[in-house]
Amino acid sequence: MDANKRQRYEKISIELTRLVGGKDNIQGVAHCATRLRIVLKDNDIADLKAIEDVDLAKGVFVAGDQVQIIFGAGLVNDVYEVFAEHNNMINMSLSDLKTVANQKMNPLQRIIKALSDVFVDIMPGILAAALLTGLSGVLGNLDFVKANDTLYGINRLINISSGAIFGFLPLAVAYSACKRFGGRPILGIVIGCIMLSDSLANAYSAAQGTVEVTTLHIFGVGVELVGFQGGIIVALLMGFVTAKLDIFFEKKVPEVIRLLISPLLTTLVGALLLFTVIGPVGRGLSSGITNALVWMTQNLGVVGYAVFSGLQQLVVITGLHHIFGAIEAQLLADTGRNFLNPLMSVAIIAQGGAVLGYLLMHRRNVKTRELCIPSFISVLFGITEPALFGINLRYRFPIIGGCIGGALGGVVVYLTNLAAVGFGTTVLPGIALADPAGNGYVNYIIAHAVAIAGGFIMTLILGKFMDKTTAETVPAGATNAVQDGRDTAAGVQGNSTNASAQSGPTLETEMPAEEVFFGYASGQLIAMEDVKDKTFANKVLGDGVAVLPAEGKVYAPADGTIMSIFDTKHAVCFASSCGTEILIHIGVDTVNLQGKYFTAHVKDGDTVKKGQLLIEFDKEQIEKAGYDTVIPMIFTDLPNEKKLEVSAPGEMTPNTRTVVVRRG
């Protein structure tokens, strides 16, 4: 990571730490492919609205009791590295974070999260099967493929491959569930093999009455020897039961015979439960879910479809959408058609239409373009979280427009009898899963066109009455930045109530027309442009001044509060009593010293007076190590209504007027 990027990420880390309530409020931090995930002691302290405006952040939301900040693929790795280092959590894994987060979840949240984890693990296989099924369906309808032996043969192999994956999906689910709930994954595979054993009558054939089913009598109870092909719910339950049995017997069986007896008992008891209790219960549950969905299509008609596709993305917000994978798989196994997939797909693309509508309304706003364009691209591949949490939920009316667009798309799905032959992917890739019967591909495109147009147009209409973003300007004489600064100072100390009390209307009359910042080090004052570092010289982090120090001491340039001191002690973030935020950065690339040669005399949340010693550093040793000791003072978040007046270059002491911040 180059120095310019690192310094930008340092600023982001400082700001995020402040906005989530300080280091003491952070329990854990990790990241996934696109999101920085933070577990907090108290989520109410975090200022989620302010986090949305953090540099490079594309959205923020709370899911599973984690504060998740969307940065995007690749970028999140670098932001995490600096943020975790800043908060002494660099070695925490995503698994560790999940453990911390799970401790704060209620039982329902834990169940939903567990289901999500089971299907996330096997999703690559599901996606492969779904796309292969779609590809086979497309090729199978082409005459030149049928007429060519080679192409026909390849298509047959594709069909066999996709069918094999779906055919053994219960085994994969049992494996993943057993692994997720703490059992040995191989025992999940063993139970999956038993479920699909050739010694059992095929479940599909048994349902059609084309095979004879053997019935055993165990303790007077009839047990039918029927396989569990398509038994996704049963596989989920058995994966859980197998894991708990494995854990139990591993604890109870003496160590001398554990290796032989423990897996034997787990498999034996698991198999007995499969055929006597779990199997019948799971089949009944599966049948109930399928029948309820089929009843909806037969009795609610177009209304049922419209309601589902209109509200489906609201379900995504709650995290409950992870259970749809199991339901879709069961629906396919029972009926051969999956009408939920196109309904979810039109719901997704409609939210993309809402994003485009909002983008059109605010096309001159650079930040809006940075958020909307990548979010819409994600929607095209079935990923709506950046759009939902970065734009649509944030501004409210786009989510409503998107839901209406989704409902309109659902109407088309109903009228055209559109369905899918697989599951696991939607929108652009999802067209490969559309059932080609009855012009399925054409109907798929029409349904999505209606949904995206509906979301787009309804967002524009609703925006005429509900868009408040253009009105969020600073009223004459008001000082939002000052209020933010005071809230920050209180928030670091964990006193959000006081912060709210301080940010009242009387602040306007309390604020001076100008604010003076004095020398923060003894030495030669230079212009920021003269710093021998592009990030500082180009004012990437903000405007300010710099000092070539004569000694290794840094002082407070005004009365204020210490917002954050880096663990490496080479930088301090400071808020003046009027709320102006400053970053004082000692040296260039000195973070690499890992705190060596630096001594902090204050800590996060301390209130300090002008001229108070903040940090001492060994100037000579740092220079011997090859580092420039220039000390920039950067005004990181100066609002437009405030202007800097910087003193001319020359000698500076702690009593020298260095910078004046004027309003207007």
Residues labelled as active-site residues: 32
Q: Which residues pair with 60 in a beta bridge?
A: 69
Name residues whose C-beta falls within 8 Å of residue 194's C-beta, 6 or more positions apart in sequence. Answer: 267, 271, 274
Instruction: Please name which of 631, 661, 326 lies closest in space to residue 516, comparing C-alpha atoms.
Output: 661
Pairing of strands 598-600, 221-224: unpaired
Both tokens assigned to 511: 């604020």
Rounded to whole angstroms, the Cα distance separating 53 from 35 reads 15
Q: What is the DSSP letter of 647?
A: P
How many contiguous H segments (helices) and E segments (strands) does the chain have? 27, 20
The angle at the Cα of 348, spanning 347 to 349, to the nearest 5 degrees, equals: 95
Instruction: Please name which of 573, 571, 560, 539 lies closest in space to residue 610, comparing C-alpha atoms.
Output: 560
Rounded to whole angstroms, the Cα distance separating 406 from 426 reads 14
Query: The tokens 């204050």 sit on which residue?
Result: 602
Q: Where are the alpha helices (DSSP H) in 181-224?
A: 185-195, 203-208
Phi, psi of 151 (to 5 degrees): -65, -40
Query: The tokens 């000692």 sit on which residue?
Result: 586
Q: What is the DSSP letter of 335?
A: H
Q: How many Å separate Cα 611 from the centre of its chain?
A: 43
Question: How distant, in Å, are the alpha carbons of 12, 14, 19, 70, 76 from that of 7?
Answer: 9, 11, 18, 20, 15
The angle at the Cα of 550, spanning 2 to 656, to the nearest 5 degrees, equals: 100
Rounded to whole angstroms, the Cα distance separating 338 from 204 reads 17
Rounded to whole angstroms, the Cα distance separating 156 from 136 reads 8
Instruction: Please name which of 403, 505, 508 lies closest in space to residue 459, comparing C-alpha atoms.
Output: 403
Phi, psi of 611 (to 5 degrees): 85, -5
For residue 497, the tally of other CB atoms under 10 A from its CB is 9
Question: How distant, in Å, are the alpha carbons of 135, 425, 439 from that of 432?
Answer: 6, 9, 13
Largest CA distance in the chain: 99
Query: The tokens 């012009």 sit on which residue?
Result: 439
Beta strands in 499-630 (DSSP E): 514-518, 523-527, 543-549, 553-555, 560-565, 571-576, 581-585, 598-600, 607-608, 613-617
Q: What is the DSSP letter of 475?
A: P
Rounded to whole angstroms, the Cα distance separating 397 from 438 reads 36
